[in-house]
Amino acid sequence: MIPEKVLPITNGFLRPLRLEDLHQDYIDGLNNPAVNRYLEVRRVKQTVESVRSFIKHNIDSSDGVLWGIWKNSSRHHVGTVRIHGINENLRYGDIGICIFCQSAWGQGTGSDAIKAATQWAFAELKLYSIEAHAYLDNAASIRTFLKSGYTRLQDRVKNVSGESGLIRHAFLRAESENILEN
Ligand SMILES: CC(C)(COP(=O)(O)OP(=O)(O)OC[C@H]1O[C@@H](n2cnc3c(N)ncnc32)[C@H](O)[C@@H]1OP(=O)(O)O)[C@@H](O)C(=O)NCCC(=O)NCCS
């Protein structure tokens, strides 16, 4: 899904990521252990081909949007926020975020992007709720979702087959305020 839309944030904007937006800093950021520590991409070294394929998958997807995040001071975009797993019947979806440019951390970029994408999904897609998952020790992520209007519903500990050890994560949710009006 690639809506023709630009969403303003403080000193920047979001717009759907296109294939021509791919750049080396994006790939390097996804391979940076400080960035990918809590992300699934850490499992496989990212390349031009793998990131291109991810962007294309999202463009072609009917149930997700991959927004690129740009700051005015940056030549390239600094991160992505993705609404995915959209269920049009039950009107819920999931959200994930990655500011791969570490120098953009701690300036409100992550929370601005989460708020903008969440508000867009409530207003345009008429979703009722959006859910986020964060590893329990990813305190920055949990704090960022809480700052963005998400509520921490519960912490979960799961023993996933095929994985060694337990997966501990926090489950957060944002609810559309006008749920009864739609
Ligand atoms: C998590 C992430 C999106 C936050 O982006 P950001 O642009 O730094 O977010 P913001 O500046 O809006 O807010 C960060 C908040 O986390 C807080 N924070 C940062 N590190 C923290 C830590 N170790 N413990 C607790 N809070 C922390 C900041 O103080 C700030 O809160 P405050 O404004 O109340 O002080 C970014 O660090 C990132 O992309 N990390 C790598 C990928 C990732 O983990 N994604 C989330 C997967 S669920």
For residue 168, the model assigns a pLDDT of: 86
10 Å Cβ neighbour count for 121? 22
Please report the pLDDT score of residue 182 as a whole number.
Answer: 43
Ligand 1, pocket residues at CB < 6 Å = 35, 38-39, 97-99, 105-111, 134, 138-141, 143-144, 147
Burial class (CB in 10 A: 0-12, 13-18, 19+), 14: buried
Are the C-beta atoms of residues 79 and 99 closer than 8 Å to each other? Answer: yes
Q: Which atom of ligand 1 is found nearest the CA of 35?
A: 41
Ligand 1 center–CA 66 separation, angstroms: 20
Res 181 pLDDT > 60: no
In this prediction, residues 25-42 reach a mean pLDDT of: 97
Query: What are the residue boundaries of the structural domains of the chain, listed by start?
Result: 7-130
The pTM for the full model equals 0.95
**Nearest-CA residue for atom 41 of ligand 1:** 35
CA angle 145, 55, 109 (to 5 degrees): 30
- 5 in Cβ contact with 120 (< 8 Å): yes
CB burial class (10 A; 0-12, 13-18, 19+) of residue 157? exposed
Residues 95-129 have pLDDT tens digits of: 999 999 999 999 999 999 999 999 999 999 999 99
- What atom in ligand 1 is closest to the CA of residue 135? 48
Q: Please give the structure tokens belonging to residue 61.
A: 């997807």
Cβ atoms within 10 Å, residue 83: 23
pLDDT, one tens digit per residue, over 140-167 is 999 999 999 999 998 988 776 655 567 7
Q: Relative to the CA of 107, which ligand 1 atom is closest?
A: 11
| Residues 22-49, mean pLDDT to the nearest whole number | 97
For 55-96, write each residue's pLDDT tens digit.
Answer: 999 999 999 999 999 998 767 799 999 999 999 999 999 999
Spacing, Cα 140 to ligand 1 middle (Å): 3
With cut-offs at 50, 70 and 90, classify the pLDDT of residue 33: very high
Cα of 101 from ligand 1 centre, angstroms:
12
179 pLDDT exceeds 60? no
Ligand 1 center–CA 182 separation, angstroms: 33
CATH class of 7-130: alpha beta
